[in-house]
Amino acid sequence: MPDGIKESTSMSDLLRNSLLYQHFQAQREEILKHKWYESERAGHDIGFDRARMNWAIKHRAQWRRRWRLETRADTVLRP
């Protein structure tokens, strides 16, 4: 395998395994769940941006505390 391809593969593996990426993915999943629940309640798709803002206002702080405890990310990620 050429060095450029091997290097880019290892960089993508490094990214996927990083705590920051895991945090982003976990947060995105929570927002998508919230979007589904709120869209069902509203009777129509509320859209990702609205769901993201609503989730951030109502649930982000509590989710973030729980996520940090579960992953011990408090020493790596800060607000």
pLDDT value for 71: 78
What's the whole-model pTM score? 0.70
Q: What is the pLDDT of residues 1-57, one digit of tens each?
A: 455 555 556 767 766 778 888 889 999 999 999 999 999 999 999 999 999 999 999
Query: What CA–CA distance (Å, rounded) separates 15 from 30?
Result: 20
Scan for tokens 């998508």, then name that residue: 32
Q: Which residues contact 55 (CB under 8 A, 6 or more apart)?
A: 30, 31, 34, 35
φ, ψ for residue 17 (rounded to 5)? Answer: -90, -5
Query: What CA–CA distance (Å, rounded) separates 59 from 64?
Result: 9
- In the chain, where are the structural domains located? 3-75
pLDDT value for 70: 83
